[in-house]
Structure 1
Amino acid sequence: MQIDRKKISFLAILLSLPFITVATPGLSQENSLNFISEVKGDVNIQRSGRKNYQKAYGGELLDSSDSLQLGKGASTKVVCNNLFIWNIQSPGEFSVSSGCPSTGKPVLIRNGSERAPTRAPNDPAIPYIINPRDTAILSDKPTLRWNAVKGANSYQVQVRGPGVNWTTEVKQPEVVYSGKETLQPGSRYRVIVTADNGVSSESEAPAGFTLLSEEDAKRVKAEIIQLQKQPLRDESKTLALAYLYKSKNLNAAAIDLLAGLVKQGSRTTSVYQLLGSVYQQVGLHRLAKEQYLTALKLAKAERNLEAQAIIQTSLGEIDIVLDNLQQAFESLQAAQSGYRNLGDEQQVQQLQQKLDDLKGRLTS
């Protein structure tokens, strides 16, 4: 197998970049995250900039400028960005800013949209890293998982980083780190997997993790305990924890939680939508697409127009990375139609720019 020296140089540059572990102080309230966790009866949302209310299904993210409208006998619970549960049990109209007031430093944030997507197609012939990948972790004994390569009988697994130079060989595409060298809090580690046919995960892109510092880990664990005590149904609490993990860049933990709900047979659109979002954030585009397609099917069944538009936009972004340009065009076009029906002209215009760009690429 020939070595591409330019690719190695590019990978070395990537590895030299700083690795973000947790949310930094002073984040704008525009980045804060509030979401509807439970809905009973006639509950509607009015988005800022839109004239009409839309039905709430549960799982929707809320801006402080949005409003909720409840009919007679309806109720809803909103998880606020400071982990406070806003429980509305009476009819009327309520501004999100009144129930989830601004805090100095929000706990839940939207930390995915500002990260550049990994430009990697997840070639099935490569043992690319699945977990932990572009993530912070709490445990110093992480479970390492990668893509099973067809025809491979064994894999060499390496973990490299400050004070650690660990190698083992396994037959299955999973192993728990068991090195004698202790992972150092705050340090960045790289995972490298090589199949017995010589193909390495490094052929795709560098992947790894950072063990949270003791201070950050202590803070996150306290927030987890706080959230676990809140009066939410089991699935709602798990979804809230997944949002908390994602806010702290604990992507591996968020994936494990959400994949557990999927395995249990969840039929909640937002579960598959959020799992797709985390996969997309760490560059696992094929796995993200699989979850988004399930979420889209569920959203269509419940006639959830906003969820459909959001998911179709994400599917378009993923198919651009996977070089499925015609599929990307069709998804973005469907998303634009959905936003037009919702009266969101800002999203319509933003999607038009993407469609114009795609149209040029398709006809060139």
Structure 2
Amino acid sequence: MLTLSSPIKKVFAVRRFTTFVSISTLILLLTSSAWGQQRTLQKNLCDEPSGRVYSTGDRLLKSGRYLCLGERISPQNGNTVKVLCFMNRKIMYLKQNTIFDAQICASPPNEAVQCSVLNVAPCTHDYKGSDDEKNAPIVTSPYGSSIINNRPQISWRSVAGADSYTVVVKGNGVNWETDVKNAMTMPYPKQQKELQYGNTYTITVISNHGDQPLNSSPLVVHLLPVDDVQWIIDEVKQIKDLGLPPDEAAFRDLDAIYMSKLILDESIKTLEARVMAGSQNPTIYRLLGDRYLGALLPEEAEQTYTIADQLAKSSANTSELNKVQSGLKLLKWLKNR
């Protein structure tokens, strides 16, 4: 479980601009045990689940149950029913009979203006990278411009000819630098003051050859306010308490919670953990590709899309295969524009 002071293994910050890849609906229900079999029957009520019940209090729907568009929420005896909409990543507290339809569970209004595999027009960034950028120690973690870990691990790409790197972190109440040799990653130093919630910091990595600096790569990260961080911690705990299959929780519920605050950091880290655990679920890899693309990491996106493509084909998952191919087409278009 996340805590306000717990270290986070791997995160990334998008430099100089923010964007994220989002897709309105995620699919593929994993089943395991009688609990998984029960939800398989529930999934058959609709082609694709659109939400989940997160509390007791409904006359018929139990906590943890999937929701389909068109289903009725019926609070009993004045109770409030908590539900999560996967499409707009919103949590709703319903106190009266409500139809769970596209009017209350739909993609957010600004979804159309985001760079995504569903809409390439706003994708204004150069995914090929300038010559200077290719020779810079590009920071690869933390992921995303917003983070919740106040002691993030810092990673970067190697630079040809560099024999050391200097990491500099500056911002409100924090100002330190350290030299690193024979490595492209470092934990946040224990002796240094942690980042402060609600503040913005610049992390710069400088490549060196001997005593001469070669190039540098700055990035800006914003640490969410403490109230937002605590909200995420509480929601993550409730998801884990439901006892969902790990893959399902990662690509549906946890991703929805993290991306509701645009925390690419935690979403990518959670999906990477499922990959490391040996998941063969194409949705895990496809969504990870989406998130890498949103974090401006096209090489990583292409690798995971390729694996997702193979898994979707081997499992005859045509719906997921279409999403993977859309991602690959967008990636190719971005590189060639």
Q: Normalising by structure 2, report the TM-score.
A: 0.65
- The answer to which structure has the higher helix fraction is 1
Which whole-Å CA distance do the structure 2 matches of 1:140 and 1:188 have between them? 11
Comparing 254-263 with 242-251, greater Cα deviation is found at: 242-251
Counterpart residue number, 1:261: 274
Query: Which deviations, in whole Å up to 9, do the C-alpha atoms of 1:66-120 show, x marking residues without a partner?
Result: x9645xxxx99947267566637xxxxx942316878798149778772554424
Counterpart residue number, 1:121: 128
Which whole-Å CA distance do the structure 1 matches of 2:44 and 2:224 have between them? 40
The one of 232, 236, 241 equivalent to 1:220 is 232
Change (3 A) 1:136 1:102: closer
The one of 91, 97, 100 equivalent to 2:70 is 97
The one of 24, 27, 38 equivalent to 2:29 is 38
Counterpart residue number, 2:78: none
Change (3 A) 1:279 1:229: same
Counterpart residue number, 1:137: 147
Counterpart residue number, 2:65: 87
Which whole-Å CA distance do the structure 1 matches of 2:272 and 2:281 have between them? 13
Counterpart residue number, 1:238: 250
Letter in 2 for 1:261: R
Query: Which deviations, in whole Å up to 9, do the C-alpha atoms of 1:309-349 show, x marking residues without a partner?
Result: 222221122222222x7xxxxxxxxxxxxxxxxxxxxxxxx
1:193 matched to 2:205? The reply is: yes
Change (3 A) 1:322 1:126: farther
* Pairing 1:152-167 to 2, within 5 Å after superposition: 152-167=162-177
1:283 matched to 2:256? The reply is: no
Counterpart residue number, 2:158: 148
Which whole-Å CA distance do the structure 2 matches of 1:166 and 1:68 have between them? 52
Gaps (5+ residues) in structure 2? 1-14, 33-39, 56-62, 74-82, 92-104, 116-121
Comparing 143-152 with 94-103, greater Cα deviation is found at: 94-103
The one of 310, 313, 316 equivalent to 2:329 is 316
Query: Which deviations, in whole Å up to 9, do the C-alpha atoms of 1:133-153 show, x marking residues without a partner?
Result: 433222211101111334432
Change (3 A) 1:36 1:312: closer
Shift of 1:243: 3.6
Comparing 306-315 with 279-288, greater Cα deviation is found at: 306-315
Which whole-Å CA distance do the structure 2 matches of 1:112 and 1:291 have between them? 24
1:298 matched to 2:298? The reply is: no
Gaps (5+ residues) in structure 1? 1-13, 22-30, 42-57, 59-66, 89-93, 326-364
Counterpart residue number, 1:175: 186
Query: Which deviations, in whole Å up to 9, do the C-alpha atoms of 1:247-277 show, x marking residues without a partner?
Result: 3222122222211221222111011111111
Which whole-Å CA distance do the structure 1 matches of 2:185 and 2:274 have between them? 21
Alignment: residue pair count: 264
Q: Is the 8 A contact 2:135 2:215 kept in 1?
A: no
Query: Which deviations, in whole Å up to 9, do the C-alpha atoms of 1:126-184 show, x marking residues without a partner?
Result: 32111114332222111011113344322111122223222111121111222634422
Q: Is the 8 A contact 1:133 1:282 kept in 2?
A: yes
Q: Is the 8 A contact 1:186 1:213 kept in 2?
A: yes
Query: Which deviations, in whole Å up to 9, do the C-alpha atoms of 1:1-55 show, x marking residues without a partner?
Result: xxxxxxxxxxxxx95x8x799xxxxxxxxx99665563559xxxxxxxxxxxxxx
Q: Is the 8 A contact 1:158 1:166 kept in 2?
A: yes
Which whole-Å CA distance do the structure 1 matches of 2:312 and 2:235 have between them? 31
Q: Report SS of the residue matched to 1:322.
A: helix
Shift of 1:278: 1.0
Shift of 1:211: 1.0
Which whole-Å CA distance do the structure 2 matches of 1:152 and 1:298 have between them? 38
Q: Is the 8 A contact 1:156 1:194 kept in 2?
A: yes
Q: Is the 8 A contact 1:79 1:86 kept in 2?
A: no
Which whole-Å CA distance do the structure 2 matches of 1:102 and 1:228 have between them? 14
Which whole-Å CA distance do the structure 2 matches of 1:287 and 1:112 have between them? 24
Letter in 2 for 1:184: Q
Q: Normalising by structure 1, report the TM-score.
A: 0.61
Shift of 1:199: 4.1
Comparing 98-107 with 212-221, greater Cα deviation is found at: 98-107
Shift of 1:218: 1.4
Aligned-residue CA RMSD (Å): 3.8
Q: Is the 8 A contact 1:34 1:80 kept in 2?
A: no
Shift of 1:279: 0.8
Q: Is the 8 A contact 1:159 1:189 kept in 2?
A: yes
Comparing 114-123 with 217-226, greater Cα deviation is found at: 114-123
Counterpart residue number, 1:347: none
Change (3 A) 1:299 1:34: closer
Q: Is the 8 A contact 1:153 1:196 kept in 2?
A: yes
Q: Is the 8 A contact 1:154 1:169 kept in 2?
A: yes
